[in-house]
Amino acid sequence: MLSALVSAGIAVTIWSRRTAPGAVSLFVNMLGLIFWSGTYAAMWSSTTLQKQLFWLDLSTLGAVIIPATFITFSLQVSRNERFLTRWLMYLLTIEPATSLLLQWTNNSHHLVYGPAQLWVTDGL
């Protein structure tokens, strides 16, 4: 949760400077970090396997946003926006979409992780 809170503070600061090169893509990156960290914390706080798997599946959405937004931010900050073509943006959606599809359909194929089970030790 601390990571989500720190990322939220950074996002607020970035939004106030949104006219700077790369600010919007870095802001979206921070939103992805907030979502990823928050849902991951919720996963570890959950007490049932069903809830843990729900939050794990949801956290993947935040995790897959991060790389594409960081590449976009890097190209904007380095003044290489000419590489940010529509074609590149389409290419940058392939990996996140594939990762989400694999994660959200894992019960059918177990390619991301094996059959899940909840371990209880000492009654906790």
pLDDT tens for the chain, residues 1 to 124: 999 999 999 999 999 999 999 999 999 999 999 999 999 999 999 989 999 999 999 999 999 999 999 999 999 999 998 998 999 989 999 999 999 999 999 989 989 888 888 777 776 5
Do 27 and 18 form a contact (C-beta atoms < 8 A)?
Answer: yes
Give pLDDT, residue 114: 86
Give pLDDT, residue 120: 74
